[in-house]
Structure 1
Amino acid sequence: MSNTKDHLQSYLSNPKFSYDLVVGVTAKSVNSTLKTMLSKNAPAPKVIWYGQANVGDPVLPMDPIPGVDPFAIASGGTPPEALLTSPFVFAIKAGFGLPPGVMPGDLPDILVLSTDSQKVKYNMFFNTFQIATLDWGRRGSYAWSNYTQPDGSPYIFTYQVDMNFNSADPNDKFSSLPADVRNQLLNYNTNTMFSVQQLYLDLNNAGLQSMPQISGVPSNSPVYEKLQLDFINTYWQTIAQAGQFVLGYAVHSNSGTPIRTSLQPTSLNFMVSPYLDDAGAISNNNQLYTLNYLMDTESRQLNVGGPFIWNWVTESEQDTYHGAMAVRREVFANYLNAAISPYLASIAITPTTTYRQFNAGFSWSASASLARTPNQSFTYSPTNDSRVANYSFSASSHHSDKSGLISGHYNLDSVASATIDIVGNEITITLSASMSIDFSNGDLGAADVVGTVGGYSNTIVLVVNVHDDGSITVTDKAGYPTPKILPAKLSSGFMAGVDGVSGLTDRLTANYSAMTEAMKNFGTQVENYLNNSGTKWIFPGGQTFAFKNVAFSAHQDLVAQLTYVEPS
């Protein structure tokens, strides 16, 4: 039985949420995976030079001087003449990564989540950081300083990052960013959009960051002054105003064709959800707070609601799973509708009857044909129970004729119904169809035929499983399908054989038997369709996550637990 606060309480159809797709990952898993990524694939350090043409002029980026390495000149050393006669003021050499001399577990979290729903704390640190500065004094005197981040004592810059990506919100920072930068942040390539590399790109956009606080350096030291003056006041504030990435960390692009998935996000925003304890109160266990990717799939403007009232990962699961992905009930029901509806034609039988009465007595003729009716479809059921779709069908053909005082008729009525229920990890499809006849050749009931031509019902239960790549498969549950055939049950007059009515009903029964044979194959056809490599359901993010334990929530969202694939 699931915990009342776990992922199986997902309720995305709640009007407070109404997101088509959600990915929720814990702060603990994000930080562990980010540190792994930075230890294995840290970007190369970047070198930035700044100069000042004249005293009092702005300090601006400048081109490096060929053959001069300011970071090789120790503090108090003598810079070359080419540097002294240039506009050089300072240079920064910095590279993201795990600082040397510090174990990853001893470093602070890179991402810190709190009860602020759309702002996160980001600790930026470096595997390489140097500032080389040239300060001029009176009468041509100068001071040359070279500050290097010491091993075991990293410089840490702490920002608050605004993760509100709603460009229609006048209070967000995202809307003021250049269009090309917004496009890099709104990465809809499902191969990479959930990756920690992409998240790191988001965090390192200076336009989304607050003024940083520096730690790891004494506030009264010369290096603190240089970090504040040169790195923050000159470099960082310049790129923040331009909405650029810190140290040019634009490593991802939206190019490349995503691996086929069943959902293509078109709107994206973020929300933090705190961890709820067994009593439903907000816990102080920030490691289990989740960063949630909120997505729609139809280019709607996405409105962020309050935090979720369930946990994507419980405390007992934190070392096993990193988060969960949920698909809103209606979205998956629409997929099932599109997948299964084409097979409804096998139970949607439209009869056509003709009847002719030539003269009094026994001179008459009758015929009938049965045809499958295309373009049948389930109707989504919005009620909050296991039933997600309904289907009903009826078709009739009534034909009569009269000759003198004798009249006769030939009526066929066809009805069919189907439902889809989802609960646990099972999809249950129920089918039923029947056909009835009302025939009279006008001989005062002597050759009438009334009753059921035949009927059919079936219950198909498909067990849903998920592969690491996000694709789901279905298999028949033991004991299912359960086809049941209702035989013909007809009453006819004593002269039916003379009138040829027996032959008429025999032909109808043969036609109906052919139709029921098609219905017997319904389950196999649906199962084959859902398992087909070109049409089966595939969660987005299979390059980033391994998926586990797919199931339907108490509110019929499709939910799978997940873990990060180790970043390369």
Structure 2
Amino acid sequence: MLGVVVVPEGKQGAKGADLEATPRPIECWRRIEKQNDKGTVDLAPVCTIAHTRHALQSYGMSSLQGFHQVVAMPQDQVKFTMSPLQGAVVVPQDQLKCTMSPFQYVDQAVAVPQDQLKSTVSPLQGFDQVVAVSQDQINASLDARFSLDPSSLKFSATIDDGETMTGIMTPPTVNLLVQYEPFQCFFSLHFVSGSFTYYTIKVVGGKPVAIPHTVPIDGWTLAFTVNLGLNVLDNVPPEIKAKILVPGSYSVSQLLMDFTTADLMSFDPELSKTPGIEVPLGKDPERDDKIGSFIRIYLEQLELSTDHNILGYAVTVPDPSVANPIAPSFPPTSVQFQTMAYQGDLPKKVLPGGLDCFLFLEMTQNRTAPHTVIDWEWNWVQPPSSPPGPREGGCMVLAKSVFWDAFFVGRATFLNRMALDMLNRVGWAIDNQYSTIGDDDLPWSLTDSDPPDSALAWTSAATSTTQTWDWNCTTSSDDPFRPYTHKSDTQVTVELDTENNAINFSANTHVWRENHIIIEAGSQAEDDVCTIDATVQWGFVFTLTSVAKGALGVSVAASYSPPKTSVTMKKDSNYGHFEVQSDSELSANAKAHLDCVMGKLDLVDDVANAFKNHSQFVFPGGGTFFMKDPAFNDAGDVVVGLTYQQE
């Protein structure tokens, strides 16, 4: 196909490079202009640009890309009245010499393999989550399901006048690539053996006589086009639409429901294969009409049945709320469907189309879907490897705005409470250097009352992947004999580290103490002053590790720096209140005590339990898929590999 880009009058100046501009969603995938009586195409707009279909769109990408109109026509049907020479001399390409630098006014260019490029653009393109399942994964699951029940592979359809079609089949298959139609796919029935009998009327001796015809259907494939576009679904009965658009339902049963709903299917004789018949499909109207009748009867039986029967097999789609053992943290509230072609060279032993995907595009929290279709941004599955890759059968991608912004950040304030507890613990250790401070229920001592949960909210967002929280207090006493000033502060940072597939938490705990002992000696007062400054830096690294029954697993590793302490003394008297230790001895003692306190704390266990209780994330589809290898992509979305469980 040749793409013809049409720019209306007043919009001249389009360039070929503009065709690769930022893509946008497309509502209409084809517009064909009517040919005139001379066999050429009427193009009323002023400026036209020819471009190959590959540059215009790889399947799944928007074809308009900022232009007002695109006309797609077979290249051999496009005629140009402009000479291709335009005053130039035609020279074979291998004899051309170009003096233009490949840098094209760029000072330096670096070529990087595509698989090594990093992009912070989310493949979700505004959707909250996408579940992608490959064609190979769907067909393998269909094969496993139907192979377990031989009765499901029997086909039978009867017309009222006794004409019948019966057969034995192999499991059905799907083909997800329908060029230029992202909402359509093909569903095929494959016959091992069988036949159909129909009658034609022939006049014999002036009387109509029914002539029987029996046609074997061994090796036949009957193909159907399935249309799952929202414009089609809006026109089906509400009770059927409700069974198809089920957010969070990804089972093979759900796919069968989607692919075999009569209102969405149409028999496709061009894609069907009927070996053994003398007259091809499309050449025998009476016979073809009978085949169409059998198909219509079969589809009507599907539609009218109490349960949704496919190939005589009752399909009951499990309720997602029952199928998932643990309720998802953010259950999807709307869904729409699309297919997406795999881009790139297929590896060996991978059949064409095997890595094309069926996409469930979903929103959460009753948010409105941003588009009706998404463009190609990456391959939702990756080729087989050794060991198997995380996205070999499909994947679920959850938006950063859902996992990080809406879920984790709001619940991660428990880390700020832990930072306050640590600050209180360090304060106790400094103020009571000769006591053992390790109890879980250590009394709060920094201020009159423990700060409420409302004080734990993040105080600033340095970037979209970093949150910070600060807390400080100052207490003092004007006691005439033992005045003091105590300052305590902590700074907390939590960061999404996509490079290392982790969430980093770090805290800086700092206490400063100035204690006085004032002794009246005659007309003068002697002041002994001891100043202690201590800092403890600590934190955790949370790494995504696994998914069990939909629940995200996280490993926790603690980081702890030895405390930094300094102690200074000023002695105006000889009464010996701080007489036993020098500055260095006091500092060493404070450090040793803090090390002892920290060594007795099981910080990893504490934070792991807190994380599980406060921030355990659960994905939808836990009862349908095996999930593995959770990871962050460069945009901060969570990506989880999927394979179907056997239903």
What is the TM-score when the length of structure 2 is the normalising length? 0.59
Q: Which amino acid aligns with 1:219?
A: G
**Within the alignment, does 1:418 sit opposite 2:493 as a pair?**
yes
Counterpart check, 1:312 vs 2:380 = yes
Deviation at 1:119, TM superposition (A): 1.7
Task: Confirm whether residue 303 of structure 1 aligns to residue 370 of structure 2.
Answer: yes
Tell me the residue number matched to 1:182: 241
Match of 1:223 in 2: 287
Matches within 5 A, 1:151-166: 151-154=218-221, 156-164=222-230
- For the residue of structure 1 that corresponds to 2:186, the secondary structure is strand
Q: Which amino acid is 1:120 matched to?
A: Q
Counterpart of 2:553 in structure 1: which amino acid?
A: T
1:18-417 to 2 correspondences below 5 Å? 18-41=126-149, 43=152, 88-89=160-161, 99=169, 109-114=173-178, 116=180, 118-125=182-189, 143=210, 145=212, 150-154=217-221, 156-164=222-230, 172-188=231-247, 190=248, 193-210=249-266, 212-213=268-269, 215-217=272-274, 218-221=281-284, 222-229=286-293, 231-232=295-296, 251-254=316-319, 257=322, 258-260=324-326, 261-277=328-344, 285-304=352-371, 306-317=374-385, 321-333=392-404, 334-337=406-409, 340-348=412-420, 369=447, 372-375=450-453, 376-378=456-458, 383=463, 388-399=465-476, 410-417=485-492
Going from structure 1 to structure 2, the CA distance change for 1:397 and 1:110 (only over 3 Å counts) comes to: same
Q: Secondary structure at the match of 1:332?
A: helix
Deviation at 1:487, TM superposition (A): 4.8
Q: 1:529 to 1:409 in 2, by over 3 A?
A: closer
Instruction: Show CA shifts across 1:208-258 (max 9, x none).
Output: 3356436234334443221234544x775898999x968696532537622
1:484 matched to 2:572? The reply is: no
Shift of 1:294: 1.9
Q: CA deviation at 1:92?
A: 6.1
Match of 1:70 in 2: none
Provide the secondary structure at the position in 1 that maps to 2:554: strand
Deviation at 1:371, TM superposition (A): 5.4
The alignment partner of 2:258 has SS state of helix
Q: Give matches, 1:525-544, under 5 Å.
A: 525-530=606-611, 536-544=616-624
SS at 1:303's partner residue?
coil
Task: Give the superposition deviation at 1:202.
Answer: 0.6
Check 1:28–1:153 CA distance in 2 against 1; reply closer, same or farther (3 A cut): same
Return the offset for 1:147.
Answer: 5.3
Partner of 1:84: none
Q: 1:489 to 1:151 in 2, by over 3 A?
A: same
Secondary structure in 1 aligned to 2:403?
A: helix
Paired position in structure 2 for 1:71: none
Aligned residues: 473
Secondary structure in structure 2 of the residue aligned to 1:435: strand
Residues 371 and 345 of structure 1: CA distance in aligned 2, closer, same or farther (over 3 Å): farther
Structure 2 unaligned spans of 5+: 1-111, 275-280, 346-350, 428-444, 519-523, 580-585
Query: Identity of aligned pairs, percent?
Result: 16
The CA distance in 2 between the partners of 1:433 and 1:117, in whole Å, is 59
Amino acid across the alignment from 1:198: Q
Q: Is the 8 A contact 1:342 1:377 kept in 2?
A: no
Cα distance change on mapping 1:381 and 1:368 into 2, 3 Å: closer
Preserved CA contact (<8 Å) 1:456 1:516: no
TM-score (norm 1): 0.66
Q: Which amino acid aligns with 2:225?
A: Y
Tell me how far apart the structure 2 counterparts of residues 152 and 552 of structure 1 sit (CA, whole Å): 46
Closer, same or farther in 2 for the Cα pair 1:338/1:368, shift >3 Å?
closer
Work out the CA distance in 1 between the residues paired with 2:462 and 2:162: 64
Matches within 5 A, 1:488-527: 488-495=565-572, 517=598, 520-527=601-608
Pair 550,256 (structure 1): closer, same or farther in 2 beyond 3 Å: closer
1:347 match: secondary structure:
helix
Offset, 1:311? 1.5
Structure number with higher relative contact order (C-alpha < 8 Å, ≥ 6 residues apart): 1
Q: 1:543/1:409 Cα in 2 relative to 1: closer, same or farther (>3 Å)?
A: closer
Mapped to 1, the partners of 2:179 and 2:596 lie a distance apart of: 59
What SS is found at the alignment partner of 1:554?
A: coil
- Is the CA contact 2:562–2:595 (under 8 Å) kept in the aligned structure 1? no
Residue 554 of structure 1 is matched in structure 2 by 634
